[in-house]
């Protein structure tokens, strides 16, 4: 027996002198340390790539230190905590964001200079991890930045896909997709947590024990392994975590007999099978793919996250903090980013009942006061519906629980709202109306089980209340809220446009706008000031030149930095109407060709840029990509017009490209069919960067226009409330197309843009209305008013002083669209959590 007892405390890691280098000298030493002692390459090499990894590791030291302090502080204070669960995060590159938030950009730039590198080149070595599709994923990342910056006790949970969103290449055939291997080398930001592992089960069966308790047994068993990515707040010590899960097979007992019998491949097989689960991000944006693998991903995310949440809740109980399940929802709030993590609901029920021994009623009270749901789209193809058969097979216990929730919901309606009973077929969770394919409606499960349901812009939340969830709203009117989206001003202004930021800070005489974006209104009083206008124009020009250089590098096309930079970047969707944009470009091209030399002198030169990825099997979207590229080929090579018009498809649009494009933009297009874009968030980023918007009254455009003033917004198109009426009129043969619209379609049909078959694309604009046909998205309807708005853009651009003034007013009016404002509203009105700053 050991006579010397080792005290508990001596098993903790002894504190070390703070490694955070704070000046260029210290930083350089730290980078060198990593180059020598954590070399992933030959230590004799210090090329940009090695310099990037050493630099990132040096930054990571500081982040880990702060992350530990934050975690310890939360543990001590034990505040109510929010967990944001999302299948997608679009983080973008982390290096410049991290050193920016730490306030160490100058120190790192100077240190790298000492070591023979420049910061910009080093930053460009980093891969852009694209673990998301579009708006929903990027919003999650903006939210993490705001939660950290606001010192909120909150974490993100996600999945560690091996392959992110595909890489897009443009060839003569149009878009081609290639694997995006963001882990090709490794990611310096993730910290693998071998101490955080949870069991995950699929398939199997439910046993009923003698006491009536139910138990899920058998089937396949896996493990979820955690990786933590530290998320630093801006100018605060608080550093939170994005915890992403990876599936792996449980450690196998090494079976020597099997090995000798040559059967050792089995373990490797299991490992391979497990790894398939997180192999790829499903690339459909606003589409639902009822594939088993996707359901496995969703369950892995929910189960691992909830086991982790429960473990933390228990860990924080102690003698003086008694363990009471009834306290759970006073300590924990779970936000579901769309319906993708809906399984969090039955999983929390299962854990509370089957693992913790609670009864149904208590488990239901806890669950329904813990989870909240955000809806991001009303598009029918995005509303998740899972086959009941698939669900019952993969997750038999969860299916039982879901059926029971549905049953109790029916009983509740019968009791308190018998008038709604004939609506139950559309309100219920289980929909068996099609006997060949009974489904589980995930959105209904979310609405019924959540204490709060929110939309992402005023108009969208109204549509949820009045249309999509109207009956639920009449049942639970206080359940529905609005939380207009926002974007982080750090990444989307302070760091992506240092030029404009410096000017803003100078004129506002403070840099506090970075965390208090409403202060931007202070720019309004200087909007007419010639000095500010000159500085503003110079910054915009510098950003345009930087982006022009990038475009030349990736497309080989030379861009005139004096032309109007007109940009539309977002996923390619018919409802987003990139087709409307390119059709009007074709019209512009035709008209320029008809001008005399004298008239041409007066025309405003434009560079129209479009970028975005099309879901690989979304044929119309791919045709649109092809058309943009074909039009570019013709226009850019036509010597009569190329000095007045260029059309560029920006390949492989991602967060990194957005950071270059948005600051360079003067006009940006947010032109969806009214009522279809839930919010949009790039509209906010563009407005913040002084880019004027041409847009419809859709999503957050409505609120942006209110904030920056209607004179500073190029509005066109049908209103949301008129859209159904217009579709109906069209159906009745009452729509008379504008001759200019016909002219453009004929021009494409003539073969002017090559021999690709645009028939199916043009046909979608004709005939009887129906989803995806008969011009469902009202391109023809809005074409004339769009052309008029475009003429107003040209007119306005001719008066540069006035344009710059509008640009300043656009930035000045963007304060509302900070994700700090959005997150504060979630914290106060949904999560009921408070800031918990590390002292
Ligand atoms: C909206 N993605 C934007 C943004 O709120 C809005 C759905 C199903 C499967 C995979 N991806 C999805 C979305 O629904 C999505 O990205 N929605 C977007 O959310 C943030 O600003 O208007 O279209």
CATH number where 596 lies:
3.40.50.2000
Residue whose CB lies within 8 A of the most ligand 1 atoms, among 386, 678, 696, 817, for a mutation test: 678
Q: Exposed, middle or buried: residue 292 (CB in 10 Å: 0-12, 13-18, 19+)?
A: middle
Residue 404 has pLDDT above 50, yes or no: yes
Residue 763 has pLDDT above 70, yes or no: yes
Arithmetic mean of pLDDT over the chain: 95
Residue count of the chain, please give it.
839
Query: If you take atom 14 of ligand 1, which residue's CA is the nearest one?
Result: 286
Whether 382 is in the pocket of ligand 1, judged by its Cβ within 6 Å, is: yes
Please indicate, yes or no, whether residues 644 and 570 belong to a single structural domain of this protein: yes
- Which pLDDT score, from 0 to 100, does residue 769 have? 67
Expressed in angstroms and rounded, the spacing between residue 484 Cα and the centre of ligand 1 is: 14
What is the average pLDDT across 164-183?
96
Expressed in angstroms and rounded, the spacing between residue 347 Cα and the centre of ligand 1 is: 24
Residue 800 lies in a domain: yes
Q: Taking CA 141 as the corner, what is the angle to CA 140 and CA 147, rounded to the nearest 5 degrees?
A: 85
- Which pLDDT score, from 0 to 100, does residue 265 have? 58
pLDDT in tens, 98-129: 999 999 999 999 999 999 999 999 999 999 99
Distance CA(149)–CA(234), nearest Å, equals 5
Please indicate, yes or no, whether residues 203 and 123 belong to a single structural domain of this protein: no
What is the average pLDDT across 169-179?
97
Distance CA(191)–CA(246), nearest Å, equals 12
pLDDT in tens, 547-593: 999 999 999 999 999 999 999 999 999 999 999 999 999 999 999 99
Residue 4 lies in a domain: no
- Report long-range pairs for 391-394 (Cβ below 8 Å, ≥24 apart): 391/295, 391/440, 393/203, 394/202, 394/203, 394/292, 394/295, 394/296, 394/299
- Which pLDDT score, from 0 to 100, does residue 2 have? 42
Distance CA(433)–CA(652), nearest Å, equals 42
- Which pLDDT score, from 0 to 100, does residue 174 have? 97
- Which pLDDT score, from 0 to 100, does residue 770 have? 67
Please indicate, yes or no, whether residues 564 and 638 belong to a single structural domain of this protein: yes
Look at 66-70, 207-211, 322-326 and tell me which has the smallest mean pLDDT.
322-326
Residue 678 has pLDDT above 80, yes or no: yes
Asked if the ipTM is above 0.85, the reply is: yes
Confidence bin at 827 (pLDDT 50/70/90)? very high
pLDDT in tens, 688-740: 999 999 999 999 999 999 999 999 999 999 999 999 999 999 989 899 999 99
Distance CA(46)–CA(598), nearest Å, equals 57
Q: Exposed, middle or buried: residue 434 (CB in 10 Å: 0-12, 13-18, 19+)?
A: exposed
Among left, alpha and beta (phi > 0; psi -120 to 50; other), residue 691 is beta
Distance CA(34)–CA(55), nearest Å, equals 8
Whether 461 is in the pocket of ligand 1, judged by its Cβ within 6 Å, is: no
Residue 7 lies in a domain: no
CA atoms lying within 13 Å on the CB side of residue 486: 26
| Among 738, 678, 674, residue whose Cα is nearest residue 483 | 678
Please tell me whether residue 8 adopts helix, strand or coil conformation.
Answer: helix
Cβ–Cβ < 8 Å for 708, 689: no
Whether 670 is in the pocket of ligand 1, judged by its Cβ within 6 Å, is: no
Query: If you take atom 2 of ligand 1, which residue's CA is the nearest one?
Result: 286
- Which pLDDT score, from 0 to 100, does residue 255 have? 59
Residue 352 lies in a domain: yes
Distance CA(132)–CA(128), nearest Å, equals 11
Residue 497 lies in a domain: no
Token pair listed for 582: 């390119």
- Which pLDDT score, from 0 to 100, does residue 63 have? 97
Residue 45 neighbours by CB distance under 10 Å = 11
Order of strands, sheet of 564-569, starting from the edge strand that comes earlier in the sequence: 645-650, 606-611, 564-569, 667-670, 692-695, 713-715
Phi then psi for residue 641, to 5 deg, are: -120, -15
Please indicate, yes or no, whether residues 428 and 526 belong to a single structural domain of this protein: no
Residue 3 has pLDDT above 50, yes or no: no
Residue 209 neighbours by CB distance under 10 Å = 8
Query: If you take atom 13 of ligand 1, which residue's CA is the nearest one?
Result: 286
Please indicate, yes or no, whether residues 169 and 116 belong to a single structural domain of this protein: no
Residue 451 has pLDDT above 60, yes or no: yes
Closest ligand 1 atom, residue 681 Cα: 21
- Which pLDDT score, from 0 to 100, does residue 318 have? 79
Among left, alpha and beta (phi > 0; psi -120 to 50; other), residue 357 is left
Residue whose CB lies within 8 A of the most ligand 1 atoms, among 87, 134, 289, for a mutation test: 134
Phi then psi for residue 694, to 5 deg, are: -105, 125
Expressed in angstroms and rounded, the spacing between residue 681 Cα and the centre of ligand 1 is: 10
Expressed in angstroms and rounded, the spacing between residue 159 Cα and the centre of ligand 1 is: 17
Whether 384 is in the pocket of ligand 1, judged by its Cβ within 6 Å, is: no
- Which pLDDT score, from 0 to 100, does residue 259 have? 63
Phi then psi for residue 101, to 5 deg, are: -65, -30
Whether 699 is in the pocket of ligand 1, judged by its Cβ within 6 Å, is: yes
Distance CA(129)–CA(141), nearest Å, equals 12
Residue 151 has pLDDT above 80, yes or no: yes
What is the average pLDDT across 333-337?
98
Phi then psi for residue 201, to 5 deg, are: -120, 145
Phi then psi for residue 455, to 5 deg, are: -95, 175
What is the average pLDDT across 592-607?
95
| Among 693, 815, 819, residue whose Cα is nearest residue 233 | 819
What is the average pLDDT across 439-456?
98
Cβ–Cβ < 8 Å for 517, 821: yes
Whether 680 is in the pocket of ligand 1, judged by its Cβ within 6 Å, is: yes
Whether 228 is in the pocket of ligand 1, judged by its Cβ within 6 Å, is: no
Expressed in angstroms and rounded, the spacing between residue 102 Cα and the centre of ligand 1 is: 30
Whether 701 is in the pocket of ligand 1, judged by its Cβ within 6 Å, is: no
What is the average pLDDT across 603-625?
97
What is the average pLDDT across 476-497?
98
Whether 132 is in the pocket of ligand 1, judged by its Cβ within 6 Å, is: no
Please indicate, yes or no, whether residues 348 and 300 belong to a single structural domain of this protein: yes
Query: What share of the chain in percent tops pLDDT 90?
Result: 90
Cβ–Cβ < 8 Å for 338, 374: yes
Please indicate, yes or no, whether residues 70 and 196 belong to a single structural domain of this protein: no
Residue 839 neighbours by CB distance under 10 Å = 5
Distance CA(574)–CA(544), nearest Å, equals 29
Token pair listed for 631: 């039009």
Residue 491 lies in a domain: no
Residue 7 has pLDDT above 80, yes or no: no
Whether 578 is in the pocket of ligand 1, judged by its Cβ within 6 Å, is: no
Expressed in angstroms and rounded, the spacing between residue 287 Cα and the centre of ligand 1 is: 9
Cβ–Cβ < 8 Å for 660, 689: no
Point out the residues that are catalytic: 376, 570-571, 576, 681, 685
Please tell me whether residue 145 adopts helix, strand or coil conformation.
Answer: helix
Q: Taking CA 239 as the corner, what is the angle to CA 237 and CA 240, rounded to the nearest 5 degrees?
A: 150
Please indicate, yes or no, whether residues 31 and 136 belong to a single structural domain of this protein: no
Expressed in angstroms and rounded, the spacing between residue 283 Cα and the centre of ligand 1 is: 12
Please indicate, yes or no, whether residues 666 and 750 belong to a single structural domain of this protein: yes
- Which pLDDT score, from 0 to 100, does residue 1 have? 39
pLDDT in tens, 235-292: 999 999 999 999 999 887 655 666 666 666 577 788 889 999 999 999 988 888 889 9
Structural domain count, the chain: 3
Residue 460 has pLDDT above 50, yes or no: yes
Residue 486 neighbours by CB distance under 10 Å = 29
Residue 42 neighbours by CB distance under 10 Å = 8
- Report long-range pairs for 737-744 (Cβ below 8 Å, ≥24 apart): 737/780, 737/783, 738/780, 738/783, 738/784, 740/587, 740/783, 740/784, 740/787, 741/583, 741/780, 741/783, 741/784, 743/587, 743/590, 744/583, 744/584, 744/586, 744/587, 744/590
- Which pLDDT score, from 0 to 100, does residue 657 have? 98
Expressed in angstroms and rounded, the spacing between residue 281 Cα and the centre of ligand 1 is: 15
Whether 677 is in the pocket of ligand 1, judged by its Cβ within 6 Å, is: yes
Alpha helices in 38-187 (DSSP H): 48-77, 95-102, 105-114, 119-123, 135-149
Q: Taking CA 747 as the corner, what is the angle to CA 742 and CA 750, rounded to the nearest 5 degrees?
A: 125
Please indicate, yes or no, whether residues 290 and 434 belong to a single structural domain of this protein: yes
Query: What share of the chain in percent tops pLDDT 70?
Result: 96
Please indicate, yes or no, whether residues 439 and 564 belong to a single structural domain of this protein: no
Please indicate, yes or no, whether residues 598 and 661 belong to a single structural domain of this protein: yes
What is the bridge-based pairing of β-strands 214-217 and 220-232?
Answer: unpaired
Q: Which residues, including other chains, have CB under 8 Å from residue 282's CB and lie 6 or more apart? A: 289, 291, 294, 297
Residue 728 lies in a domain: no
Expressed in angstroms and rounded, the spacing between residue 713 Cα and the centre of ligand 1 is: 24
Residue 500 lies in a domain: no
Residue whose CB lies within 8 A of the most ligand 1 atoms, among 377, 614, 616, 701, for a mutation test: 377
Q: Taking CA 43 as the corner, what is the angle to CA 40 and CA 48, rounded to the nearest 5 degrees?
A: 75
Please tell me whether residue 199 adopts helix, strand or coil conformation.
Answer: strand
- Which pLDDT score, from 0 to 100, does residue 270 have? 83
Whether 376 is in the pocket of ligand 1, judged by its Cβ within 6 Å, is: yes
What is the average pLDDT across 173-191?
96
Q: Domain limits at 191?
A: 78-92+128-484+826-831
Closest ligand 1 atom, residue 134 Cα: 16
Confidence bin at 528 (pLDDT 50/70/90)? very high
């Amino acid at each position: 027996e050991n006579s010397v007892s080792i005290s508990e405390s001596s098993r903790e890691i002894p504190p070390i002198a703070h490694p955070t280098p704070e000046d260029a000298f210290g930083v350089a030493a730290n980078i060198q340390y990593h180059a020598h002692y954590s070399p992933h390459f030959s230590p004799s090499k210090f090329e940009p790539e090695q310099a990037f990894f050493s630099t990132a590791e040096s930054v990571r030291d500081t982040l880990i230190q702060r992350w530990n302090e934050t975690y310890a502080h939360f543990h001590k204070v034990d505040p109510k905590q929010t967990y944001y669960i999302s299948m997608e995060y679009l983080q973008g590159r982390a290096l410049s964001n991290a050193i920016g938030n730490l306030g160490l950009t100058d120190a790192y730039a100077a240190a790298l200079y000492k070591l023979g590198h420049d910061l910009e080149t080093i930053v460009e070595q980093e891969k852009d991890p694209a673990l998301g599709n579009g708006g929903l994923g990027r919003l999650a990342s903006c939210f993490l930045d705001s939660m950290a910056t606001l010192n909120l006790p909150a974490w993100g949970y996600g999945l560690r896909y091996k392959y992110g969103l595909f890489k897009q290449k443009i060839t003569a055939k149009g878009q081609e997709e290639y694997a995006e291997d963001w882990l090709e080398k490794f990611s310096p930001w993730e910290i693998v947590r071998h101490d955080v592992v949870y069991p995950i089960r699929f398939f199997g069966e439910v046993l009923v024990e003698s006491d009536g308790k139910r138990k899920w047994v058998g089937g396949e068993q896996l493990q979820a392994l955690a990786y933590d990515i530290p998320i630093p707040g801006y100018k605060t010590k608080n550093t939170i975590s994005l915890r992403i899960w990876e599936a792996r097979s449980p450690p196998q007992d090494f079976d020597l007999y099997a090995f000798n019998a040559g059967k050792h491949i089995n373990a490797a097989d299991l490992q391979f099978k497990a790894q398939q689960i997180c192999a790829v991000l499903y690339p459909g944006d606003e589409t639902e793919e009822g594939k088993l693998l996707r359901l496995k991903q969703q369950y892995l995310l929910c189960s691992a996250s909830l086991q982790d949440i429960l473990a933390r809740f228990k860990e924080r109980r102690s003698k003086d903090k008694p363990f009471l399940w009834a306290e759970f929802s006073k300590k924990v709030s779970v936000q579901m980013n769309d319906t993708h993590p809906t399984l969090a609901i039955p999983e929390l029920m299962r854990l509370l009942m089957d693992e913790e021994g609670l009864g149904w009623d208590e488990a239901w009270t806890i669950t329904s006061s813990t989870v909240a749901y955000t809806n991001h789209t009303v598009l029918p193809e995005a509303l998740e519906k899972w086959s009941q058969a698939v669900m019952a097979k993969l997750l038999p216990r969860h299916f039982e629980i879901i059926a029971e929730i549905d049953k109790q919901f029916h009983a509740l309606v019968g009791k308190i709202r018998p008038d709604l009973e004939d609506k139950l077929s559309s309100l219920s969770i289980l929909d068996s109306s099609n006997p060949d394919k009974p489904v589980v409606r995930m959105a209904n499960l979310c609405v019924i089980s959540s204490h709060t349901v929110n939309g992402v812009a005023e108009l969208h939340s109204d549509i949820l209340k009045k249309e999509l969830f109207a009956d639920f709203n009449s049942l639970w009117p206080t359940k529905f809220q609005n939380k207009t989206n926002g974007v982080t001003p750090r990444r989307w202004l302070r760091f992506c446009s240092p030029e404009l930021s410096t000017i803003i800070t100078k004129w506002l005489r403070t840099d506090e706008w970075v965390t208090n974006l409403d202060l931007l209104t202070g720019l309004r009083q200087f909007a007419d000031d010639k000095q500010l206008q000159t500085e503003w124009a110079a910054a915009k020009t510098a950003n345009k030149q930087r982006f022009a250089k990038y475009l030349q590098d990736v497309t080989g096309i030379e861009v005139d930095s004096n032309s109007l930079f007109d940009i539309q970047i977002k996923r390619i969707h018919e409802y987003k109407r990139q087709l409307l944009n390119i059709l009007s470009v074709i019209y512009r091209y035709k008209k320029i060709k008809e001008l005399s030399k004298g008239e041409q002198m007066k025309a405003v030169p434009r560079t129209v840029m479009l970028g975005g990825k099309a879901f690989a099997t979304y044929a119309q979207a791919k045709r649109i990509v092809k058309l943009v590229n074909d039009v570019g080929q013709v226009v850019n090579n036509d010597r009569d017009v190329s000095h007045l018009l260029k059309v560029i498809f920006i390949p492989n649009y991602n967060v990194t490209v957005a950071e270059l494009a948005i600051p360079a933009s003067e006009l940006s297009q947010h032109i969806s069919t009214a009522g279809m874009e839930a919010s949009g968030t790039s509209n906010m980023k563009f407005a913040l960067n002084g880019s004027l918007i041409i847009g419809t009254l859709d999503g957050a455009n409505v609120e942006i226009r209110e904030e920056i003033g209607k004179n500073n917004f190029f509005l066109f198109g049908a209103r949301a409330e008129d859209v159904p009426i217009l579709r109906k009129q069209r159906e009745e043969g009452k729509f008379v197309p504008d001759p200019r619209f016909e002219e453009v379609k004929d021009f494409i049909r003539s073969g002017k843009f090559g021999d690709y078959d645009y028939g199916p694309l043009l046909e979608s604009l004709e005939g009887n209305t129906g989803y995806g046909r008969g011009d469902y998205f009202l391109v023809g309807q809005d074409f004339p008013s769009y052309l008029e708005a475009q003429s107003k853009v040209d007119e306005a651009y001719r008066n540069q002083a006035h344009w710059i003034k509008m640009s300043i007013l656009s930035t000045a009016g963007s304060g509302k669209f900070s994700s700090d404002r959005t997150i504060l509203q979630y914290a106060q009105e949904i999560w009921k959590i408070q800031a918990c700053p590390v002292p």
